[in-house]
Structure 1
Amino acid sequence: MAKYLLLKHYRGAPAAVNDVRMDQWTPEEVSAHVQYMHDFAAKLEESGEFVDGQALSDQGMWVRYDGEGRPPVTDGPFAETKDLIAGWMVIDVDSEQRAVELAGELSAAPGSGGQPIHEWLEVRPFLTEAPMITE
Protein backbone atom coordinates (compact mmCIF):
# COMPACT_ATOMS: atom_id res chain seq x y z
CA MET A 1 0.00 0.00 0.00
CA ALA A 2 1.14 3.54 -0.70
CA LYS A 3 -0.32 6.84 0.37
CA TYR A 4 -1.16 9.52 -2.17
CA LEU A 5 -2.34 13.08 -1.81
CA LEU A 6 -5.16 14.17 -4.13
CA LEU A 7 -4.88 17.95 -4.11
CA LYS A 8 -7.85 19.93 -5.39
CA HIS A 9 -7.00 23.19 -7.14
CA TYR A 10 -9.64 25.59 -8.33
CA ARG A 11 -8.19 27.56 -11.21
CA GLY A 12 -9.53 30.91 -12.25
CA ALA A 13 -11.01 33.86 -10.48
CA PRO A 14 -12.62 32.91 -8.16
CA ALA A 15 -12.62 29.16 -8.26
CA ALA A 16 -13.70 28.77 -11.87
CA VAL A 17 -14.34 25.21 -12.95
CA ASN A 18 -16.18 23.92 -15.98
CA ASP A 19 -16.17 27.51 -17.37
CA VAL A 20 -18.59 28.59 -14.64
CA ARG A 21 -17.36 30.28 -11.47
CA MET A 22 -18.37 28.39 -8.34
CA ASP A 23 -19.78 31.58 -6.84
CA GLN A 24 -22.34 31.45 -9.67
CA TRP A 25 -23.50 27.90 -8.94
CA THR A 26 -26.95 27.50 -7.46
CA PRO A 27 -27.20 26.30 -3.85
CA GLU A 28 -28.44 22.96 -5.21
CA GLU A 29 -25.36 22.64 -7.44
CA VAL A 30 -23.04 23.38 -4.53
CA SER A 31 -24.90 20.83 -2.38
CA ALA A 32 -24.66 18.19 -5.12
CA HIS A 33 -20.92 18.81 -5.45
CA VAL A 34 -20.33 18.52 -1.71
CA GLN A 35 -22.51 15.39 -1.50
CA TYR A 36 -20.47 13.80 -4.29
CA MET A 37 -17.31 14.41 -2.27
CA HIS A 38 -18.88 12.87 0.86
CA ASP A 39 -20.15 9.85 -1.09
CA PHE A 40 -16.74 9.37 -2.73
CA ALA A 41 -15.00 9.44 0.67
CA ALA A 42 -17.57 7.00 2.13
CA LYS A 43 -16.96 4.57 -0.74
CA LEU A 44 -13.21 4.72 -0.09
CA GLU A 45 -13.77 4.24 3.66
CA GLU A 46 -15.64 1.00 2.86
CA SER A 47 -12.79 -0.23 0.64
CA GLY A 48 -10.16 0.77 3.23
CA GLU A 49 -8.51 3.24 0.84
CA PHE A 50 -9.57 6.49 2.55
CA VAL A 51 -7.16 8.03 5.06
CA ASP A 52 -8.33 11.63 5.47
CA GLY A 53 -9.62 14.64 3.59
CA GLN A 54 -10.61 18.22 4.15
CA ALA A 55 -11.96 21.23 2.29
CA LEU A 56 -10.05 24.46 2.81
CA SER A 57 -11.33 27.98 3.31
CA ASP A 58 -10.61 30.51 0.58
CA GLN A 59 -9.02 32.74 3.23
CA GLY A 60 -5.53 32.31 4.59
CA MET A 61 -2.17 33.92 5.17
CA TRP A 62 1.46 33.55 4.18
CA VAL A 63 4.06 33.14 6.96
CA ARG A 64 7.83 32.70 6.75
CA TYR A 65 10.83 32.61 9.06
CA ASP A 66 12.46 36.04 9.36
CA GLY A 67 15.58 35.09 11.31
CA GLU A 68 14.59 37.24 14.28
CA GLY A 69 11.74 35.30 15.86
CA ARG A 70 8.97 37.52 14.48
CA PRO A 71 7.63 35.73 11.41
CA PRO A 72 6.11 38.18 8.97
CA VAL A 73 2.49 37.48 8.08
CA THR A 74 0.76 38.73 4.95
CA ASP A 75 -2.81 38.30 3.77
CA GLY A 76 -3.59 35.77 1.10
CA PRO A 77 -3.94 33.62 -0.79
CA PHE A 78 -7.27 34.99 -1.94
CA ALA A 79 -10.16 33.36 -3.79
CA GLU A 80 -9.37 35.65 -6.71
CA THR A 81 -5.93 34.09 -7.09
CA LYS A 82 -5.17 32.22 -10.29
CA ASP A 83 -4.73 28.88 -8.54
CA LEU A 84 -6.40 28.29 -5.16
CA ILE A 85 -5.90 25.07 -3.18
CA ALA A 86 -9.46 24.14 -2.27
CA GLY A 87 -8.97 20.89 -0.42
CA TRP A 88 -7.25 17.55 -0.26
CA MET A 89 -7.79 13.86 0.25
CA VAL A 90 -5.27 11.26 1.37
CA ILE A 91 -5.74 7.77 0.02
CA ASP A 92 -3.86 4.52 0.71
CA VAL A 93 -3.94 2.34 -2.39
CA ASP A 94 -2.15 -0.65 -3.92
CA SER A 95 -0.65 1.18 -6.90
CA GLU A 96 -0.10 4.45 -8.68
CA GLN A 97 -2.56 3.22 -11.31
CA ARG A 98 -5.28 2.96 -8.62
CA ALA A 99 -4.46 6.48 -7.39
CA VAL A 100 -4.87 7.81 -10.93
CA GLU A 101 -8.12 5.87 -11.37
CA LEU A 102 -9.59 7.37 -8.18
CA ALA A 103 -8.40 10.89 -9.08
CA GLY A 104 -10.17 10.53 -12.43
CA GLU A 105 -13.36 9.52 -10.67
CA LEU A 106 -13.09 12.41 -8.22
CA SER A 107 -12.56 14.79 -11.15
CA ALA A 108 -16.08 13.94 -12.31
CA ALA A 109 -17.72 15.73 -9.37
CA PRO A 110 -20.77 17.65 -10.57
CA GLY A 111 -20.74 21.39 -11.06
CA SER A 112 -22.92 23.85 -12.94
CA GLY A 113 -25.97 22.18 -14.42
CA GLY A 114 -24.97 18.91 -12.74
CA GLN A 115 -22.29 18.33 -15.37
CA PRO A 116 -18.91 16.84 -14.38
CA ILE A 117 -16.43 19.62 -13.75
CA HIS A 118 -13.43 17.72 -15.13
CA GLU A 119 -11.16 19.47 -12.63
CA TRP A 120 -7.45 18.76 -12.65
CA LEU A 121 -6.27 17.05 -9.47
CA GLU A 122 -2.67 16.97 -8.37
CA VAL A 123 -1.73 13.39 -7.43
CA ARG A 124 1.42 13.09 -5.32
CA PRO A 125 2.84 10.07 -3.53
CA PHE A 126 3.97 10.50 0.05
CA LEU A 127 7.72 10.41 0.50
CA THR A 128 8.41 7.08 2.17
CA GLU A 129 12.12 7.50 2.81
CA ALA A 130 14.37 10.47 3.39
CA PRO A 131 16.23 11.43 0.19
CA MET A 132 19.71 9.90 0.03
CA ILE A 133 22.71 11.90 -1.05
CA THR A 134 25.39 9.80 -2.66
CA GLU A 135 28.88 11.03 -3.38
Structure 2
Amino acid sequence: MAKYLLLKHYRGAPAPVNNVPMDQWTPEEISEHMRYMNDFAARLEKTGEFVDGQALAPEGAWVRYDGEGRPPVTDGPFAETKDLIAGWMVIDVDSYERAVQLAGELSAAPGAGGEPIHEWLEVRPFLACPPTITE
Protein backbone atom coordinates (compact mmCIF):
# COMPACT_ATOMS: atom_id res chain seq x y z
CA MET A 1 0.00 0.00 0.00
CA ALA A 2 1.17 3.53 -0.75
CA LYS A 3 -0.26 6.85 0.36
CA TYR A 4 -1.17 9.54 -2.17
CA LEU A 5 -2.34 13.09 -1.73
CA LEU A 6 -5.12 14.16 -4.08
CA LEU A 7 -5.08 17.95 -4.31
CA LYS A 8 -8.34 19.38 -5.62
CA HIS A 9 -7.58 22.33 -7.88
CA TYR A 10 -9.94 24.99 -9.05
CA ARG A 11 -8.14 26.00 -12.20
CA GLY A 12 -8.66 28.73 -14.76
CA ALA A 13 -6.69 27.10 -17.59
CA PRO A 14 -7.15 24.63 -19.02
CA ALA A 15 -10.75 25.30 -18.10
CA PRO A 16 -12.93 22.46 -16.84
CA VAL A 17 -15.88 21.56 -19.05
CA ASN A 18 -18.30 22.81 -16.38
CA ASN A 19 -16.50 26.04 -15.43
CA VAL A 20 -19.25 27.71 -13.37
CA PRO A 21 -17.79 29.18 -10.14
CA MET A 22 -19.17 27.51 -7.02
CA ASP A 23 -20.50 30.85 -5.70
CA GLN A 24 -22.94 30.74 -8.65
CA TRP A 25 -24.25 27.24 -7.87
CA THR A 26 -27.69 26.77 -6.36
CA PRO A 27 -27.95 25.40 -2.80
CA GLU A 28 -29.19 22.12 -4.31
CA GLU A 29 -26.14 21.91 -6.61
CA ILE A 30 -23.79 22.51 -3.67
CA SER A 31 -25.62 19.85 -1.62
CA GLU A 32 -25.37 17.34 -4.48
CA HIS A 33 -21.64 18.06 -4.88
CA MET A 34 -21.02 17.61 -1.14
CA ARG A 35 -23.10 14.40 -1.12
CA TYR A 36 -20.95 13.02 -3.96
CA MET A 37 -17.77 13.88 -2.07
CA ASN A 38 -19.05 12.32 1.17
CA ASP A 39 -20.28 9.18 -0.62
CA PHE A 40 -16.91 8.86 -2.38
CA ALA A 41 -15.05 9.07 0.95
CA ALA A 42 -17.47 6.62 2.61
CA ARG A 43 -16.93 4.10 -0.20
CA LEU A 44 -13.15 4.36 0.24
CA GLU A 45 -13.49 4.02 4.01
CA LYS A 46 -15.20 0.64 3.43
CA THR A 47 -12.32 -0.56 1.23
CA GLY A 48 -9.70 0.80 3.67
CA GLU A 49 -8.36 3.23 1.06
CA PHE A 50 -9.50 6.50 2.68
CA VAL A 51 -7.13 8.13 5.16
CA ASP A 52 -8.34 11.74 5.49
CA GLY A 53 -9.65 14.71 3.54
CA GLN A 54 -10.78 18.29 3.94
CA ALA A 55 -12.18 21.16 1.92
CA LEU A 56 -10.31 24.45 2.14
CA ALA A 57 -11.68 27.99 2.36
CA PRO A 58 -10.65 30.28 -0.51
CA GLU A 59 -9.04 32.77 1.91
CA GLY A 60 -5.44 32.33 2.94
CA ALA A 61 -2.03 33.91 3.33
CA TRP A 62 1.50 33.35 2.07
CA VAL A 63 4.15 33.24 4.81
CA ARG A 64 7.90 32.75 4.58
CA TYR A 65 10.95 33.01 6.82
CA ASP A 66 12.61 36.42 6.56
CA GLY A 67 15.84 35.60 8.42
CA GLU A 68 15.05 38.01 11.24
CA GLY A 69 12.20 36.33 13.11
CA ARG A 70 9.40 38.41 11.60
CA PRO A 71 7.90 36.32 8.81
CA PRO A 72 6.25 38.50 6.18
CA VAL A 73 2.62 37.68 5.52
CA THR A 74 1.00 38.42 2.17
CA ASP A 75 -2.72 38.06 1.55
CA GLY A 76 -3.68 35.31 -0.83
CA PRO A 77 -4.22 32.99 -2.52
CA PHE A 78 -7.44 34.47 -3.80
CA ALA A 79 -10.38 32.69 -5.40
CA GLU A 80 -9.94 34.69 -8.62
CA THR A 81 -6.42 33.34 -9.15
CA LYS A 82 -5.82 30.92 -12.02
CA ASP A 83 -5.08 28.06 -9.65
CA LEU A 84 -6.54 27.57 -6.18
CA ILE A 85 -6.31 24.45 -4.04
CA ALA A 86 -9.90 23.78 -2.99
CA GLY A 87 -9.25 20.76 -0.78
CA TRP A 88 -7.37 17.52 -0.39
CA MET A 89 -7.79 13.84 0.27
CA VAL A 90 -5.24 11.29 1.42
CA ILE A 91 -5.71 7.77 0.11
CA ASP A 92 -3.78 4.57 0.78
CA VAL A 93 -3.95 2.33 -2.29
CA ASP A 94 -2.16 -0.61 -3.90
CA SER A 95 -0.79 1.25 -6.90
CA TYR A 96 -0.31 4.55 -8.70
CA GLU A 97 -2.83 3.33 -11.28
CA ARG A 98 -5.47 2.97 -8.56
CA ALA A 99 -4.69 6.49 -7.29
CA VAL A 100 -5.18 7.86 -10.81
CA GLN A 101 -8.43 5.91 -11.22
CA LEU A 102 -9.82 7.35 -7.98
CA ALA A 103 -8.70 10.88 -8.89
CA GLY A 104 -10.60 10.52 -12.16
CA GLU A 105 -13.74 9.49 -10.29
CA LEU A 106 -13.38 12.39 -7.89
CA SER A 107 -13.02 14.78 -10.84
CA ALA A 108 -16.51 13.75 -11.95
CA ALA A 109 -18.21 15.32 -8.92
CA PRO A 110 -21.35 17.17 -10.02
CA GLY A 111 -21.46 20.95 -10.30
CA ALA A 112 -23.80 23.45 -11.89
CA GLY A 113 -26.73 21.76 -13.59
CA GLY A 114 -25.65 18.41 -12.10
CA GLU A 115 -22.95 18.05 -14.77
CA PRO A 116 -19.49 16.70 -13.84
CA ILE A 117 -17.11 19.57 -13.09
CA HIS A 118 -14.04 17.86 -14.57
CA GLU A 119 -12.01 19.38 -11.76
CA TRP A 120 -8.21 19.10 -11.91
CA LEU A 121 -6.70 16.87 -9.25
CA GLU A 122 -3.02 16.60 -8.54
CA VAL A 123 -1.90 13.08 -7.58
CA ARG A 124 1.19 13.19 -5.34
CA PRO A 125 2.82 10.19 -3.64
CA PHE A 126 4.02 10.64 -0.10
CA LEU A 127 7.79 10.60 0.12
CA ALA A 128 8.82 7.25 1.50
CA CYS A 129 11.83 6.99 3.76
CA PRO A 130 14.45 4.44 2.75
CA PRO A 131 14.63 1.45 5.10
CA THR A 132 17.04 1.75 8.00
CA ILE A 133 19.92 -0.72 7.82
CA THR A 134 20.88 -2.25 11.12
CA GLU A 135 23.73 -4.66 11.68
TM-score, with length taken from structure 1: 0.90
State the match for 1:61 in structure 2.
61
State the match for 1:133 in structure 2.
none
For 2:34, give the aligned amino acid. V
Instruction: State the Cα deviation string for residues 52-102 of structure 1 (Å, max 9, x = none).
Output: 000001000010000000101111111111101000000000001110111
Within 5 A, what are the aligned runs for 1:109-124? 109-124=109-124
Identity of aligned residues (%): 82
* CA–CA separation in structure 2 for the residues paired with 1:65 and 1:98: 38
* CA–CA separation in structure 2 for the residues paired with 1:88 and 1:17: 21
State the match for 1:101 in structure 2.
101
Q: What's the offset of the Cα at 1:119?
A: 1.2
State the match for 1:125 in structure 2.
125
For 1:115, give the aligned amino acid. E
* CA–CA separation in structure 1 for the residues paired with 2:117 and 2:80: 19
* CA–CA separation in structure 2 for the residues paired with 1:127 and 1:72: 29
Q: What's the offset of the Cα at 1:18?
A: 1.1
Runs of 4+ in 1 over 6 A off after TM superposition: none
Within 5 A, what are the aligned runs for 1:1-135? 1-12=1-12, 18-129=18-129
Q: What's the offset of the Cα at 1:17?
A: 6.6
For 2:108, give the aligned amino acid. A
* CA–CA separation in structure 2 for the residues paired with 1:68 and 1:19: 43
List gaps (5 residues or longer) in structure 1: 131-135
* CA–CA separation in structure 1 for the residues paired with 2:47 and 2:66: 45
For 2:59, give the aligned amino acid. Q
Instruction: State the Cα deviation string for residues 97-125 of structure 1 (Å, max 9, x = none).
Output: 11011111111100111011111110011
TM-score, with length taken from structure 2: 0.90
Query: What value does the CA root-mean-square deviation take over the aligned residues?
Result: 1.8
For 1:82, give the aligned amino acid. K
Give the 3-state SS of the residue equivalent to 2:31 in structure 1: helix
